[in-house]
Structure 1
Amino acid sequence: MADQIKRIEARSLTLAMWGNLVMAAMGLGAGLWSNSGAVLLDGLFSLIGFFAALVGRRVGLRSDTPPDRDRPFGYAAEEAIFSTFRALSLLGLILFAVANALRTIFNTLSGVPAEPLLYGPMIGYFILIGVVCALLWVSHFLAWRRTGRQSAILRLEMKAAFFDGLITVSAGAGLAAIYVLRDGALAGIAPIGDSLIVLLLCLAAAVVYLGDFRGGLRELASASALPKHVATARRALRPAIAEDGGTLRDLSVVKLGRTFLLTAYYDPGRPLIAREVDALNLRLIRDARAALPGADVLLLVTEHPRRWPDELDPYG
C-alpha cells in the first residue's frame, strides 16, 4: 500500500512539475511582453511551483522510510520542512511583489509615467493558464483521495493549483475591467490598476500561505496535534488499554508530515516482562493506524504522566 501511495504521489507531482514549468514560461513571457506585473507575478508563482513539485516528489518518495542510523526518528520531518519552506518562499515572493507594486504606484503618482499595458497577449494567457490550473487541481485531488487523504504534499499542491487558478482568474477579471473602463469609471486608477491588482492578489496569497507557514512551524516545533486528532488517538488506544487492565496516565500526540507520533504513558499496575510490553505496543500501533493512518506509538511503562511530580522533577 505504501509503495502504491508513493507511485500515485510521484505521478501527480511529475505532472505538476511540467505543468508549472509551462505556466511559468508563459507567465514570464506574457508578463514581460504586456508590461503587466500581475501576469509576471503569476508566472513567478508557477516557477516556484515547478521547483516545489521537483523537491516534493523526492520528499514524498522517502517520507515513510523507517528510522536508521542517520535519522533515528525516521524521515517524516522532511515533509513538514518542505511545506514550511515552500510557504516561506512564496511569502518572500509576495513581499518582493508588494515592494515593486508600491514603488510603481509611488512613481506614477509622482509624475513618472508607467509603461502602458498591452492587453493582446493577456487574453490567450489567461484562458490557457486557467485550463491548466483546473487540470492540475483535478489531478492532485484525485491522487490525494486515492492515497487516503494522507499526503500533506499533495494537499499543499492541490491548494497551490487552486490558488494559482484563482490568481489567474482574478487578475484577468481586474485587468479586463480596467481595459473596458479605462476611459470611464476607472480612469483615475487605470495607470496604477495593474499594481493595485498585484497588491490585492498578494494580500489574499499572504493569508493563505501564512497559515501554511504557521502550520509547518508547529509541526517542526513538535507542538501538540489538533484536539480532534488527540481525541481520535485516545479512542483508538482505549480498548487495548482496558483489555490489559492498566491505566493510561497520559497521551501525547504530535503530527509530523503525514505521520502521527503517539506517546502513551502507561501504568500496568503489575510487573511486565519485555515480551508483554512489546505485544501491547504492537497492538497499540495497529489500533492507532486503523484510526490515524501512518501513526506510530511509543509505549512508556511508568506510573507518572509526561511531567514528573514536583518532588521528582529534576528541573525543580
Structure 2
Amino acid sequence: MTEAISRQGIESRSLIVAMWGNLFMAAAGVLAGFLSNSAAIMMDGLFSMVGFVSLLLARRISGRVTAGPDRLRPFGYAADEAIFVTFRALSLLGLVLAASTTSIQRIIAYLRGEVPAPLNFGAMPYYYLIITLTCFGLWWLHYRAWVKTGRSSDMLKLEGQAAAFDGAITVASGLGLAAIYFFGKGPLAPIAPVGDSIIVLLLCAFAVGGYFRDLRGGLAELAGVTASPDVIAVARRALRPALAEDGGRLSDLSVNKIGRTHQVMVYYDPGRPVTAAQADRLNLRMLRDLRGALPGADVMLVITEYPRRWPDEVWPG
C-alpha cells in the first residue's frame, strides 16, 4: 500500500510540473505566433494548450485510477486511463484537422493572387530555443517518473512521448522557418509567402499517424479487445503453478488491457465439488502470482466446465 501511494505521488508531481510547463508553452506560443504572424508557431502553442487541458484531467484520473470497485464503478476505475488517452488523441486530431484546413485555404488564396502578411522573424530564435529545451526537459521528467513507478503508467508514458514529439515538431518547425528566412529570396522564393502554411501541413501530416495510433489503442481498450499475445503468455505462465497444484483443468483464459491494469478471466473446472472458501483461496493465490508478473493485474475466477463462449448445444438462445 505504501509503495502504491509513493508511486502515485511520483506520478502526481510529474503531471503537476508538466501541466504548468504546458501552460507556459501555450502562452508563449500564442504570443509568439501573434507577434511573428506565424501559423506554425501558433499551432505549436495550441498543441501545448491541449496538453495543459488534458493534464488537468490526468491529475484527477491519476488519483483514483487504482481505486478498487465500489457501488458506482463495479469494475473499478482503470478504464478512466483509456478514456483519457482516447480524449487526448481525439482533441489533437481535431486540432490537426483545423490547422490543416486553414493552411490549405491560405495556400489556395495565394494561388489565386492574394499575398499573405509577411513573417516577423525577430523573436523566433528565442522562442524555439526556450520551447525546445522545455519540451525535452518535460520528456526527461516524465521518463524518470515512468521508470520509478514501474513503467506501468500509460498517462506518464503518453505524456512523455507527447513532450518528446512536441520537441521534435518544434525543432522541425524552427528549421523550416529558418530555411524560409535564409532562402526566401533565393531558391524558395516561389513558396516563401506561404512557406509557413506549408510547414503546418507537413507537421500535421507527420503528427496524424501517432495521434491516430493513440486513438486506436484507447478505443481498443475501451472495447475490450484481447491483450497482446506476449501478455497472455506471461499470464498463463504466472497462473500455471496454482492451477497445477489445485489439480483441475483450465477451460479458457482471457486477458484485456485497461489503462495500466490487466483484467484476467480464468475459466476453471476443478473436477470436484469446491466450497466458496476454497475458490477464494485459489483466486487470491492466482492474484498474488499474477501480480508478480503483471503489476496491478486483477483475476476473476469463474468455476465452469466451459470456455468464455457457451457451446451451441447448451446455449438457450
- TM-score > 0.5, shorter chain as reference: yes
- Residues 27-176 of structure 1: pairs in structure 2 closer than 5 A: 27-176=29-178
The amino acid of 1:179's aligned partner reads Y
- Aligned-partner residue type, residue 109 of structure 1: L
Q: Aligned partners of 2:7, 2:97: CA distance in 1, in Å?
A: 36
| CA distance, structure 2, for counterparts of residue 306 and residue 49 of structure 1 | 40
Write the letter of the residue equivalent to 1:112: E
TM-score, normalised to structure 1's length? 0.99
Deviation sequence 1:250-307 (CA, Å, 0-9, x none): 0000111111000000011111111110000000101111111110000001101011
Q: Which amino acid aligns with 2:147?
A: R
SS of residue paired to 1:62: coil
Find out whether 1:248 has 2:263 as its counterpart: no
What SS does the aligned partner of 2:63 have? helix
Instruction: Give matches, 1:235-274, under 5 Å.
Output: 235-274=237-276
Between 1:226-235 and 1:123-132, the stretch displaced more is 226-235
Distance 1:286 1:96 in 2: 49
Offset at residue 187 of structure 1 (A): 1.1
Q: How many residues matched? A: 315
Aligned counterpart in structure 2 of residue 234 of structure 1, from 236, 239, 250: 236
In structure 2, the residue matched to 1:296 is 298
Offset at residue 185 of structure 1 (A)? 1.3
Q: Quick one: which amino acid aligns to residue 211 of structure 2?
A: Y
Q: Which amino acid aligns with 1:49?
A: G
Unpaired runs of 5+ residues, structure 1, are none
SS in 1 for 2:163: helix
Identical aligned residues as a percent: 57
Question: SS of 1:120's equivalent?
Answer: coil
Give a deviation string over 1:66-124, Cα, whole Å, max 9, x none.
11000100011111101101110000000000000001101111111111001111110
Give the superposition deviation at 1:52.
Answer: 1.1
Which aligned runs of 4 or more in structure 1 are off by greater than 3 angstroms?
A: none
Match of 2:17, SS? helix
Counterpart-to-counterpart distance in 2, 1:60 and 1:170: 32
User: Residue 287 of structure 1 aligns with which residue?
Assistant: 289
Aligned partner of 1:17 among 12, 19, 29:
19
Q: CA deviation at 1:46?
A: 0.4
Offset of residue 314 of structure 1: 2.8
Q: How does 1:190-229 map to 2 (within 5 A)?
A: 190-229=192-231
CA distance in 1 between partners of 2:277 and 2:212 (Å): 47
1:278 aligns with 2:280: yes
How far apart in 2 are the matches of 1:2 and 1:266?
30
Structure 1 position 20, deviation (Å): 0.4
Helix, strand or coil at the partner of 1:308: coil
Amino acid at match of 1:265: Y
In the alignment, the residues of structure 2 paired with residue 54 and residue 4 of structure 1 have an alpha-carbon distance, to the nearest angstrom, of 20
Aligned partner of 1:173: which letter? L
| Structure 2 residue ranges without an equivalent (≥5) | none
Per-residue CA shift, 1:167-206, capped at 9, x if unaligned?
1000000110111111111111111111111011101111
Q: Which amino acid aligns with 1:41?
A: M
In 1: Cα distance, 2:86 partner to 2:229 partner: 22
Q: CA deviation at 1:210?
A: 0.3
How far apart in 1 are the matches of 2:254 and 2:188? 57
Aligned AA (1:145):
V
